[in-house]
């Protein structure tokens, strides 16, 4: 009987430690996927593609409204952000087996969007181990981005928010709906 009581105590304690600790992570992050679609067109987008032949493409599209002080973001000049984006080292860093060479870096602004596109050739035989996205470090006004990463094997869509420890998955992915049909 005493053992049973002790076991029950340990079980409850374990549940409290593990289960309730999870409650600490903000509801915002846990439930974000439910309301993400309602503001998806107002946040930045990052498209990353890594092809089998070692070509890496990183494309950004940031609505001007992000930098106009709407919501909680601070006012930043578009030109200032554009100059940050001009240097790909402010945007991302690649850790690959071989050195990658940058073949394209263009930054354009128009139709309410600040766009940037970078291309790197890492060679077909060279494996990329890690891709660091540094944009949030250099663009303080950026709170959240929606990201699509396409590799030769998989495609993932998720959101990254300054408030959340982990990527937010389960976003409504229209392109995958189409591919299923």
Partner 1 sequence: MHAELRRYESVKSPLGFFAAGPDRPMLTDAGDIDRQFRYHRRNIIVIITLCYGLGYVCRLALNVVKKPLMDAGIFTPEEMGIIGSMLLYGYALGKFSNGLLADYSNVKRFFAAGLFVSALLNFGMSLSTVVWLSALLWVLNGWFQGIGAPSCVVALANWFSNHERGRYYGIWSTAHSIGEGLTYLGIAFLIAPPPKGLGMAWQWGFWIPATVCIGAAALLYKFLQDRPQTLGLPPVAEWRHEIIDKVQSIKPSARMIWKTQLSVLAIPSIWVIALASSTMYVTRYAINSWGNVYLQEIRGFDLFDANAFIFLNTVAGILGCVAYGYMSDKWFDARRPPVNLIFGLMEVIPLIVIFYGPTNSVILAAALVVYGFGLSGILASLGGLFAIDIAPKKVAGAAMGFIGIFSYLGAGLQDYISGKLIYDSEMKVVFALGDKAPTVYFYDYSLPIVFWVGASVLSLILAATLWKVRARD
User: Rule CB under 8 A: which residues touch partner 1?
Assistant: 10-11, 14-15, 18-19, 21-22, 30, 33, 48, 50, 127-134, 136-137, 147, 149, 151-156, 158, 160, 162, 164-167, 170, 173, 176, 179-180
User: What is the chain's length?
Assistant: 181
Q: How many other C-beta atoms can be found within 10 angstroms of the C-beta atom of residue 76? A: 17
Nearer to partner 1, 98 or 108 (CB): 98
**Whole-number minimum distance, CB 45 to partner 1, in Å?**
14
**Residue found under tokens 């005493």:** 2
- State the DSSP string of 98-111: S--EEEEEEEEEET
| Cα atoms found within 13 Å of the Cα of residue 175, Cβ hemisphere only | 6
**Whole-number minimum distance, CB 68 to partner 1, in Å?**
22
CA 58 to chain centre: 12
Nearer to partner 1, 11 or 108 (CB): 11
Instruction: Please state, in angstroms and rounded to a whole number, the distance separating the CA atoms of residues 132 and 22.
Output: 27
**Whole-number minimum distance, CB 155 to partner 1, in Å?**
7
**Whole-number minimum distance, CB 72 to partner 1, in Å?**
16
Nearer to partner 1, 26 or 108 (CB): 26
**Whole-number minimum distance, CB 166 to partner 1, in Å?**
5
> Across the beta sheet with 155-161, what order do the strands follow?
101-110, 113-121, 55-63, 44-50, 144-151, 155-161
Q: How many other C-beta atoms can be found within 10 angstroms of the C-beta atom of residue 118? A: 20
Nearer to partner 1, 86 or 134 (CB): 134
Nearer to partner 1, 79 or 134 (CB): 134
Query: Can you give the C-alpha Rg of the chain in angstroms?
Result: 21
**Whole-number minimum distance, CB 153 to partner 1, in Å?**
4
Nearer to partner 1, 81 or 147 (CB): 147
């Amino acid at each position: 009987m005493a053992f049973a009581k002790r076991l029950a105590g340990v079980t409850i304690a374990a549940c409290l430690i593990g289960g309730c600790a999870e409650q600490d992570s903000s509801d915002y992050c846990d439930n974000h996927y439910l309301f993400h679609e309602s503001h998806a067109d107002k946040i930045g987008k990052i498209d990353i593609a890594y092809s089998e032949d070692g070509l890496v493409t990183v494309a950004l599209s940031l609505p001007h409204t992000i930098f106009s002080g709407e919501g909680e973001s601070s006012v930043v000049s578009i030109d200032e952000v554009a100059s940050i984006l001009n240097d790909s080292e402010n945007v991302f860093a690649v850790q690959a087996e071989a050195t990658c060479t940058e073949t394209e870096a263009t930054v354009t602004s128009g139709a309410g969007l600040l766009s940037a596109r970078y291309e790197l050739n890492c060679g077909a035989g060279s494996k990329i181990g890690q891709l660091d996205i540094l944009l949030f470090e250099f663009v303080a006004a950026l709170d959240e981005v929606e990201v699509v990463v396409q590799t030769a094997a998989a495609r993932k869509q998720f959101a990254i928010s300054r408030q959340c420890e982990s990527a937010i998955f389960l976003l409504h992915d229209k392109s995958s709906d189409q591919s299923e049909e």
